[in-house]
Structure 1
Amino acid sequence: MARLERNVLLIVNAFKMNMFLNRIFVQLKKNYCLTAAQTKLREMLSKVVGKGDVSENSKIITIQCLEDYYFFSLFCALATTLKTQGNVSFEQYVVRSLNVGSSQSIANWLKSYLLSNRLTDKKWISLYSLFCNKIAFRATSPLGYISDIKLLFISVKIWRNLSSKSDVLKLSWQDVLLGDLIYDSYLRFKPAPTVHIRNFYMLTVIWQALRTFKSAKRYFSKTKPSAYFTSYTTYIQHGIPVRVALYLGIPVYSFSNFQTVAKRLKLDDTKQTASCNTYFSDFQSLDDKDSKLLAAEKQLQFRIDGGIDTATAYMAKSAYHANVHTIPNVTNAAVIFLHDFYDSPHIYSWSLFPDFYDWICFTIETLTKSKIPFFIKPHPNQIDLSSEVISQLQAQYPGLRWLPITATNKRLVDAGITCAITVYGTVAHEMAFLGIPVITCGDNPHISFDFCKNATTHEEYQAYLVSADKLQFDAHQMRAQSLMFYYMHNMHRDPSESLVMNVTQKLFKLSQTVESGEEDTSHLFDTIVGLMEMSEFKTLCSERFGRHLV
């Protein structure tokens, strides 16, 4: 019997090992080779796009080779259209840099290296090569770490001189600010909810930042492209080339906010987010304000009723999605609306706290000490790791009252909450629309309106929190201003650009389905071609980027 049990155990273990090796093989094949969906998409696109003729007089536009179907599709449409409008070639920047979780163990490092390296880059490089003529540069130099030993010693010196989180945020290199990019990259890729400056991973991020800086500066200084197209501006792999290019006087455009197709960046505005500081005064100068407010009300009410509008297209699920979940008694209580702890806290120009973990701890301690009743609501689209941070908070602060993640904000308002607390979330104008005052503590899209109590110092933030149950606002004015904001942020654009953005939104959603495993890429292909054929898109490309083709 014992021998039979041993044989059965050996068979079971062999089966498990076979399943494990099979999963590894499937993952390696997916990372190193074009999938069936990618092969089909490449085959279809090769018939309608091309590299074009290149001469010594060709203008150069540099774009990111981002491993993302949406940006690949958008950049494909842009490059193909611009080639019909001028003598231009495109060169791709390979962004592979840090790998999430690689610092947690030797096994994780080995796994991340096997699944993301110079060989795996080739798959997406081959896709972008449909419309790109050559590789511009890489976030990591061709010779790898050996060529960067000097930068390693410099990084060690910088790292050892750090004494606080604020020191990290102040870091600059050759007159270019890198601190916020380094800080956010640590949070995202370690990953961790807050920074520990003595952790060796901080040294890793600083070193990689300097390596990316070196590669970007060498390329932009020598090649001097007519423009640089980027997806995001957060994290070191995106933000450093942006800032280096701007520092060297090269025009840079970001394509990652939902307010415009492309945002022209500046030395004093390097963020991908829309510039919102003049929304209130800009609205006052518009004609026919009442009809604009009515249109905004219709769209915002759609979101409140559980729909996902253009402004929240990035969310997998609406914060107002209908549910039957029972919620506790929140009457006369404030609600803290959590952010995803691993999102970039420095996506706007300034923030009172260095990260969302420091913010939530300060907020909890202040409200508790002041005996202000409050609940905490997790972010509806947080990643799984944020749930672990919530468990840490529950252990650190026993007795906290948590709301179910499925509790809709509308139900919370109807149940009698008195105040909403966020750093910069979209919940601010939603709450204002529903008549609930809001406390914020950093630059945010609502900065030009009065419906938020926006703190600029810790003392001011603390004062707002201790009076959270006594904040006085005019509900009618809050609602009106929330609609002004909504119109300016989501609807105030040229009609032709709105038509283009309708298609790019469709492109975004189709890209998500392909990313999630959908093998039929025909709809994505049709949308890319449809975008290229739009007269409005052709005009936008000419007007927005034509100056860089001559």
Structure 2
Amino acid sequence: MLKKIFSRFIFRIKKYISNRKMVEHFESNNGKFWTNLTVSRELNKSSKTNQVVLVEISEKNPFELESNMRVAKTIELNSDLVIEALVACTLKVKEPYVKLVKSYNIARVIALYRVSLLNLFRLIYSLYVALSLFRKIKTLDDIEELTYNGVVIGDLVYDTYIRMQDGKFSPSKDYILLKYITHAIFNCQLYTVLLGKGNVKYLVVADKCYINHGVLYRVAIKFGVKVLMPTKELKWLNAGNIKKHFHHPELSLDEMKLELKDVEIEKQVSSYFSKRFSGEIDQIDVLSSYRNKRVYARDELMSIMSLVPGKKNVLIMPHAFSDFPHIAEGLYNDYYIWLVELLKVVKDINNVNWLIKPHPTSYIFNEIGVVETLLNDIGATNVKVVPKDMNTASVKDLADVILTVRGTPGLEFATFGIPVVTAGEGCYSGYGIDITTSSKQDYVNTIRNVTNIPRLDEAQISNAKMVFYYLFIKPNAMLTYLMKDIESNMSDYNKVLNNILDNNNSELIEDNVLYGITLKMLNQIENN
């Protein structure tokens, strides 16, 4: 026992030393790169205005760091704005990411949770306001609708609660909920002070979900700040898309067709699926769904699960329950409640073969076995769980209809003509690909009449392939060099930092994918 504790202690010491050396190495080399660039471009910070590009650094990972800073540096190099970074820490002297951020040669670093008497008063006031809101909560809807000073915080509180509490897929009215309401209000106050000065023109954020990210960008929008978020695309977050899925193209089908007019979509999609189904795409959900899994024939699965020939196979594909259910609007409060209510309906419908496939990344969220337990508790004995080793590629031959809230498989298998019934807005909503309803009752009626749902026609399949290409295949704003040689260990942040330094030595700043995309977005915003 003592030997094990000692070994663990030594491991942590070695890791600490390694991380500290990496920070020093990155700080020195990245600092030289950006300082030399500033000198060569003859950028004089003293001639800049007091207008600011504010960069959020809250996750403290190098993916967020490099992506956000590349967008901000592009703006700085092409304007009279300076960069300030907002780091989620209390003391700058003890925070390694302060050193990493400073190496980008920026104007100032702000410690979000700086220790001060004023912040203590703000925290006490936040608790007072939170208690007032907390006492009024009766339902989950009440949580979702919580607002503070005109900023909606309820959905962010809701999703933070279930993400941080293992085994809690819907919030309870408890101390934890009060804590997160207080946190959201406190952040609102901090951001209001920071953004209310009127000198922040652009804000660069890494995400729009949960309290840490969501409150900041919503307060920024309230003050008229232009918010940019580098994901698959560089997104302009504004009042019009707060409730929209952040991967939605926000283009009409005609606009998308025009943009992709020179692309052989059929060929590209076919080639991509060949790689995806064999697990060659380095994304965690793809690897979990396809790599080292078995592709079953339809007849084989029919036999294994004792399915009735002649009946439609309706496949329920749940989400990871605690993975940001309020990413867009939906019929139900969260993914867990959706599945509970759905199973209550389908357990009494026996004219189809009901199947369910737990989400492949459920292990990441400590949700293994939740679906099976739920089936037992509800008594949905007519719903069969697919084999655990089933490659998701088997779905295209097995399923006649797919049910999900907004999951990617709905779009993926629509490219094979399989219809999908959704219970919320998603990244492929509005393109005539999924079957949507405007109320829970209409949704239930659709489920009860699921046998009447036809396969997609050729036009729908063609549109599904185009949207799929746009979202998953088209060259995008992601910095692929960050991922070099880390597929087997996504948490190897030191390797990612080295990848950034290697890229500095091999690529001109104008050749970085985010440089051109950012300039294009700035032009779009200024002309809007």
Q: TM-score, normalised by structure 2?
A: 0.84
Deviation at 1:396, TM superposition (A): 1.9
Aligned 8 A contact 1:77 1:532 in 2: no
Distance (Å, rounded) in 1 between the aligned partners of 2:388 and 2:252: 32
Who is 2:374 aligned against? Answer: 393
Who is 1:198 aligned against? Answer: 173
Distance (Å, rounded) in 1 between the aligned partners of 2:371 and 2:224: 44
Alignment of 1:450-489 (within 5 A): 450-489=432-471
Distance (Å, rounded) in 2 between the aligned partners of 1:462 and 1:491: 34
Who is 2:318 aligned against? Answer: 338
Distance 1:357 1:193, change over 3 A: farther
| Matched AA of 2:100 | L
Deviation at 1:208, TM superposition (A): 0.1
Q: Give secondary structure in 1 for the equivalent of 2:316.
A: strand
Who is 1:358 aligned against? Answer: 337
Confirm whether residue 525 of structure 1 aligns to residue 501 of structure 2: yes
| Matched AA of 1:523 | N
Alignment of 1:11-90 (within 5 A): 13-19=1-7, 21-22=9-10, 29=16, 34-50=19-35, 53-55=44-46, 57-66=49-58, 67-90=60-83
Within the candidate set 118, 127, 134, 1:152 is matched to 127
Distance (Å, rounded) in 1 between the aligned partners of 2:480 and 2:455: 36
Aligned 8 A contact 1:276 1:447 in 2: no
Q: Give secondary structure in 2 for the equivalent of 1:385.
A: coil
Distance (Å, rounded) in 1 between the aligned partners of 2:267 and 2:79: 39
Aligned 8 A contact 1:193 1:357 in 2: no
| Matched AA of 1:95 | A
Q: Deviations over 1:294-343 (max 9, x none)?
A: 3443354335533555xx84636163435337653356321111211121
Aligned 8 A contact 1:139 1:216 in 2: no
Higher alpha-carbon deviation: 385-394 or 156-165: 385-394
Alignment of 1:304-383 (within 5 A): 304-307=276-279, 313=283, 315=285, 317=287, 319-321=289-291, 323-324=293-294, 327=301, 328-329=304-305, 332-348=312-328, 350-371=329-350, 372-382=352-362, 383=364
Distance 1:252 1:154, change over 3 A: same
Higher alpha-carbon deviation: 332-341 or 204-213: 332-341
Alignment of 1:251-266 (within 5 A): 251-256=226-231, 258=232, 260=233, 262-266=234-238
Distance 1:511 1:118, change over 3 A: farther
Within the candidate set 209, 222, 228, 2:203 is matched to 228
Higher alpha-carbon deviation: 235-244 or 365-374: 365-374
Q: Which runs of 4+ in 1 moved over 6 A?
A: 511-514, 546-549
Distance (Å, rounded) in 1 between the aligned partners of 2:463 and 2:484: 30
Q: Deviations over 1:252-304 (max 9, x none)?
A: 11112x1x2x1111112135613446433434656858x54334433543355
Aligned 8 A contact 1:216 1:244 in 2: yes
| Matched AA of 1:84 | L
Aligned 8 A contact 2:421 2:434 in 1: yes
Deviation at 1:80, TM superposition (A): 4.0
Deviation at 1:40, TM superposition (A): 2.8
Aligned 8 A contact 1:423 1:442 in 2: yes
Who is 1:109 aligned against? Answer: none
Deviation at 1:209, TM superposition (A): 0.1
Higher alpha-carbon deviation: 393-402 or 157-166: 393-402
Higher alpha-carbon deviation: 189-198 or 457-466: 189-198
Distance (Å, rounded) in 1 between the aligned partners of 2:211 and 2:494: 32
Distance 1:84 1:196, change over 3 A: closer
Who is 1:170 aligned against? Answer: 145
Confirm whether residue 94 of structure 1 aligns to residue 66 of structure 2: no
Distance (Å, rounded) in 2 between the aligned partners of 1:139 and 1:388: 38
Distance 1:526 1:18, change over 3 A: closer
Distance (Å, rounded) in 2 between the aligned partners of 1:307 and 1:17: 38
Confirm whether residue 242 of structure 1 aligns to residue 217 of structure 2: yes
Task: Identify unmatched segments of 5+ residues in structure 1.
Answer: 1-12, 97-116, 493-497
Distance 1:476 1:37, change over 3 A: same
Deviation at 1:485, TM superposition (A): 1.8
| Matched AA of 1:54 | K
Deviation at 1:543, TM superposition (A): 4.0
Q: Give secondary structure in 2 for the equivalent of 1:226.
A: strand
Within the candidate set 386, 391, 414, 1:408 is matched to 391
What percentage of residue pairs aligned between the two structures are identical? 16
Distance (Å, rounded) in 1 between the aligned partners of 2:206 and 2:247: 14
Over the aligned positions, Cα root-mean-square deviation in angstroms equals: 3.3
| Matched AA of 2:182 | W
Deviation at 1:150, TM superposition (A): 1.7
The aligned length equals 499
